[in-house]
A = this chain, B = another copy of it.
Amino acid sequence: MKPTNGLAMASLTDLYQITMTYASWKHGRHELPAVFELFFRKNPASGGYTIFGGLEEAARYIENFRFTEADIRFLRDGLVMSRKKLVAEFEHELKAGIIVAIKNKYWKRTYCPWGEETRVEVKYPHHDLCIAPPMGGCDPDFFRWLRKIDCSQLKISAIPEGTVVFPRVPLIRVEGPLAAAQLVETGLLNLVNYASLMMTNASWYRSAAGREKIMLEFGLRRAQGPDGGVSASRYSYYGGFDGTSNVLAGRLHGLPVKGTHAHSYVQGYESLDDLEDRSLVGMNGKNRDFVAAVLRWREKLGFTHTNEGELAAFIAYAQAFPRGFLALVDTYNIQDSGVPNYICVATALRDFGYNPIGMRIDSGDLAHESKMSRGQFIRSEKVTGFNLSGSVIVASNDINEEVLDELNKNGHEIDSFGVGTHLVTCQSQPALGCVYKLVEINGDPRIKLSKNPEKRTIPGRKSVYRLVGENGFPICDLMLMRDEEPPQSGKPILTINPLNEIERSRITPVRVIELLKPIWDGRRLYPVMTPDQIRNNVLSQIRAVEERRPDFLRRVNPTPYHVSVSGKLNEFMRKLLLTESTIPEYK
């Protein structure tokens, strides 16, 4: 299968992956067996957990990994645009008379709206775009070799998408020839980082709002580009949201798509005269005057002072969607126009046999306005005899976790939240810091030193187990060296905090789960998971923790989950640290 985004190709990478590969190739080291691990060092936004996402796209990226002819040409020759191509490219400008001439150099009228509007000389002696070859002067054989490289020689294991994961545990392990294993770094990081962040973020919003609320993602317009939008919709659903407004994401990834109308729709109507068709076919099949029905309720309810354009817009929308009537009530005035108009139209719809869905508030104090609206529903019932308690109140203005907490504190009558900007840009921490580190080459475990212990890597190809305790709840994730026996249920094992070897525990697991599963071995092994499988997996894990150990989920100072190493790995790491580090000399 192809990646969802056509840009997720081999050349979506940092140049240094290719320059490094060249250096390895040049020295005949490009096929040394190597092991890389992808992991993160800290949970985002000081949270207690992360949800691993992006693996499906990563698997597709691996499957389709190939440099194209265009990639190779660009690396070897750079970008040179010929005069002929230039003329073609600038056809519009020539026709529009913006370019006066194309000679060896040509004149062009440029816009300079801040300062001068002048004719500026633009020099393109024989070519326009001339980007120096990023890999100029390299051995031509290298490019022939690069053209053929793919992931057929790699073995990849990973934790399944939607798993709750913790710092320093390898999420993806890539084994194989140095060059291929190195070249997938940037692509994997790009596909995993945002996906995981987004799923984690969505699960925070879900927890903050409460299980029973309907959570909708509305962020496409503020997302970081088209793919940012599609990914945000997809991974917020995986992380526990109920739907999105994004049509394309719904179609591509099988997500429920929701939406009603905007302020501009309401503004489009000035008065009831804008309604040419006044009728509506009721559930009983009879066609009657719907406008008259609405106006009767308006009179009875005393709501005659409301904005008439807005009322017309609601009526028109209800005529189009009698089964799906949800009105945006804050174009003019929520309590004095929007809600009364909603009540009139909703009650008339009831007379025609339909159930109105509800209303949306997109501005003002959401707690106050929702309570006031609910109050109007209740008061109107005395006049209409129609119980509006089935009407959903959706709220959607600049919602973030703090707003949700504040709303819960103050009480509110909101049933559903539409969340945009802060969800899709991950306001509380806009990037997850996944890294991809070499842990073994040619059979030798390698370490990355740092003065900061958290930035050190844990050397060697590791196996990782989740140790589950008596109450069915995981106690810790344990990393072991390649040749160690896996932990066994019922058998005590010593676990050590790799950041502080004094912190040790002896754990007798009731069950042992191996976290890394093979997903690629020259061909894809990773099963396609449906959105609901991933989402249910996330929700069930979060619920299990909510019920048993909510302290792990706390957004401030959560209990840290233990990620440990075996005694043997700890000793080995210590030895390597001492060998590899230099002793600075002071005089």
Enumerate A254-301 residues with CB–CB distance to B below 8 Å.
254-265, 267-268, 270, 274-277
Enumerate A1-50 residues with CB–CB distance to B below 8 Å.
3-9, 11-20, 22-24, 26-29, 32, 34, 36
Q: Which of B364, B466, B473 contacts A113 (CB 8 A)?
A: B466
Distance in Å from the Cβ of A514 to the closest Cβ of chain B?
9
Complex contact A448–B220 (CB within 8 A): no
Q: Give Cα A321 to B142, complex, Å.
A: 13
Complex contact A224–B194 (CB within 8 A): yes
Known contacts being A16-B261, A541-B115, A582-B333, is A190 close to B527, with CB within 8 Å?
no
Complex contact B222–A225 (CB within 8 A): no
A64 within 8 Å of B (CB atoms)? no
| A420, closest chain B residue (CB) | B431
Distance in Å from the Cβ of A378 to the closest Cβ of chain B?
18
Contacts of A350 in B (CB 8 A): none
Q: Which of B14, B195, B256 contacts A218 (CB 8 A)?
A: B14
| A360, closest chain B residue (CB) | B16
Q: Which of B218, B250, B258 contacts A74 (CB 8 A)?
A: B250
A458 within 8 Å of B (CB atoms)? no
Number of copies: 2
Q: Which of B115, B221, B264, B526 contacts A472 (CB 8 A)?
A: B115
A248 within 8 Å of B (CB atoms)? yes
Chain-B contact segment, one of A125-133, A206-214, A379-387, A485-493? A125-133
Chain-B contact segment, one of A148-156, A407-415, A495-503, A528-536? A528-536
Q: Which of B92, B225, B449, B540 contacts A227 (CB 8 A)?
A: B225
Q: Give Cα A74 to B583, complex, Å.
A: 65
Complex contact A27–B275 (CB within 8 A): yes
Distance in Å from the Cβ of A108 to the closest Cβ of chain B?
8
How does the 8 Å CB contact mask read for A410-453 relative to B, with 1 for contact and 0 for none?
Answer: 00000000000100111100111110111001001011111110
Known contacts being A164-B114, A247-B75, is A320 close to B263, with CB within 8 Å?
no
Distance in Å from the Cβ of A26 to the closest Cβ of chain B?
4
Q: A129-B530, A131-B256 are in contact. List 4 more A-B contacts (CB 8 A).
A: A27-B277, A134-B257, A190-B229, A222-B433
| Size bracket, chain A contacts | 35 or more
Complex contact A223–B163 (CB within 8 A): no
A393 within 8 Å of B (CB atoms)? no
Q: Give Cα A286 to B547, complex, Å.
A: 73
Contacts of A424 in B (CB 8 A): 431
Distance in Å from the Cβ of A80 to the closest Cβ of chain B?
10
Q: Give Cα A270 to B442, complex, Å.
A: 11
Complex contact B16–A114 (CB within 8 A): no
Known contacts being A16-B261, A164-B114, A427-B430, is A267 close to B441, with CB within 8 Å?
yes
Contacts of A270 in B (CB 8 A): 444
Known contacts being A5-B5, A24-B268, A584-B335, is A15 close to B117, with CB within 8 Å?
no
Distance in Å from the Cβ of A578 to the closest Cβ of chain B?
13
Complex contact B584–A220 (CB within 8 A): no
A231 within 8 Å of B (CB atoms)? yes
A140 within 8 Å of B (CB atoms)? no
